[in-house]
Chain A
Amino acid sequence: MAFRTLACAGKNTFGSVLHAVLPVKQSVCTSMLPCLGLSAAKHFSLSSQNNVKKIIVDESEKVTTISAEYVESPLAPRLLKKGKEGSHDCPLCALNLNVKHTDVLILSQFLRPDGCLLPRRTTGLCTKQQLRIKYLVTMSQKAGLMPNLAPSWSKKDPRKRYGSKKFNRYFDEATLD
C-alpha cells in the first residue's frame, strides 16, 4: 500500500480537505495512475470542480505534487476572428461559411480526441449552428472521413466495418435546412 501526500498549489482548489495524508488502497492506486499521468484523461477532484486550464504533476521521491495553473491557450495565435473579451457571439455565424460534411479540418475542431462533440458552453456557438455542426459531424463520421477521432476500441479503418457500413457514402447538406 502506498501513501501519497497531495498538496494544493496555485489557483486551483481541490478543497482544503486534501491537506491530510490519504491512505491509498491498491484499487484506487491503479485508477489514479491515468489521472496522474501527463495526459489527464479524467478529472480528479473530491470537492466541487474548479476546472482549470492545465494540471501539472510533479513527482519526486516520496511526494507527488499535483498543481494547476492557467496557461496561455495554444489556439490563440491561429484564431480567425478575434471577438471582444467576454463576447457571446457565435463564431460560425460571424464567419458566414458554407460548411460541408467533407470539410474535415473545420469539423474536427469541434470534436474531442475520442470523437465526441464539445458542448455548447465550450464551443460558444448558437443553438442553430451547434445543431448543424452536430448533424454535419454525424454525416462525416458515417462517411468514414475522420477515423482517427474515434474511441480507442473502434476500428480505425472504415473498410473494416461490418456489412453495408464498409462502403463509401456521401450526404446532401441541403437536407439539413
Chain B
Amino acid sequence: MSAARRVQQWATFGRMWYLYDAKWQNPLDSADKIKLYLSGSHKPIYHPLSNCGDHVVVMNSRDIALPGIEWEKRVYFHHSGYPGGASWTLAWELHQKDPTLLLRKTVYNKLDKNLLRRGLMARLHIFPDDKIPDSILKNISGQIRQLRQVPTRLDHIPEEKVKSFPRIFEWPKDYVIQ
C-alpha cells in the first residue's frame, strides 16, 4: 500500500501508551476515563472482542485526592476465603499499605464484569510517584488530560505575586498591625 495508507493503518490499529498524572485527581472519576482507554471505547473502530484497547500508565497515584471525609468513610472489603476471614479496611489505611491499590481496585470495579477484565487490567500500569522505569517510559505515545485543576499551595506561589495581589478590604482605622 502507499505510504499515506500505511500511516493511516498504523495510526488506526497501533496500540497506544497513554500517560495519566493522578496528582490531586479523584480516583473514581479518573477510573471512568481510564476504562474508556483500556477497553478501546475511545476509538471509532471499537469492538469488545477486537483487542483494540490501549495501555495506560498512571503516575503519582500516592497523591490522589478524595472529597471531604471519604478517606475516613470509604471502606474496602476483603475475604481471605477462610471462615471468619472477612475484613473491612478504611481507604486511608489501604492507601498507607499500598498507594497503588486504591486506584487499581477502582478501575477493576469500573470495568465490565466479563472475562476481558483481567486482560485489560494487565494493560494498566500504576506507579505511586513519578519514577517510571525506562522500558515503559520509552513506549509512552500520548497523554490523558487531568479532570480536576491542581491547586497551588500558598507557600509555592512566588512572593512577588502574593505581595502584588489586589486586596479585598481595607483595615479599619483602629486596627493594630500584628
Interface positions of A (Cβ within 8 A of B): 39-41, 43, 50-55, 70, 73, 75-76, 78-80, 82, 91-92, 95, 102, 104-106, 108-110, 112-113, 121-125, 143-149, 163-164, 167-172
Contact = CB atoms under 8 A, between A and B. Distances in A.
A52 B68 contact: no
Contacts of B10: none
B168 to A, nearest CB: 5
A106 B152 CA distance: 13
Contacts of B176: 40, 43, 51-55
Nearest to A42: B178
Contacts of A106: 168
A171 B71 CA distance: 12
Interface of B: 24, 26, 63-68, 70-72, 90-92, 95, 148-149, 151-155, 157, 161-162, 164-178
B172 A121 contact: yes
A125 B170 CA distance: 11
A79 B167 CA distance: 5
Contact of B66 (A41, A124, A146, A167): A167
Which 10 pairs, one residue from A and one from B, show the smallest C-beta to C-beta distance? A164-B92, A168-B65, A102-B151, A164-B71, A91-B169, A80-B166, A104-B154, A148-B155, A78-B167, A146-B154
Question: Main SS of the interface on chain B?
Answer: loop
Nearest to B62: A167
Contacts of B172: 121-122, 124
A108 B174 CA distance: 21
A167 B171 contact: no
Given A53-B175, A92-B168, A102-B151, 6 more contacts: A105-B157, A148-B154, A164-B72, A167-B92, A168-B63, A170-B151
A163 to B, nearest CB: 6
Nearest to A106: B168
Contact of A145 (B63, B153, B161, B165): B153
Nearest to B90: A164
Nearest to A43: B176
* Centre residue among A54, A91, A105 by max chain B CB count within 10 A: A105
Contacts of B90: 164
Contacts of B167: 75, 78-80, 109
Contacts of B174: 50-52
B67 A171 contact: yes
B168 A95 contact: yes
Contacts of B164: 78
28 contacts: A39-B178, A70-B173, A75-B171, A78-B164, A79-B169, A79-B170, A104-B151, A104-B153, A109-B167, A110-B168, A112-B178, A123-B169, A125-B169, A149-B154, A164-B71, A164-B90, A164-B92, A167-B64, A167-B66, A167-B71, A167-B92, A168-B63, A169-B65, A169-B66, A169-B68, A170-B65, A170-B148, A172-B68
Contact of A108 (B149, B154, B166, B170): B154
B84 to A, nearest CB: 27
A115 to B, nearest CB: 11
Contacts of B161: 105
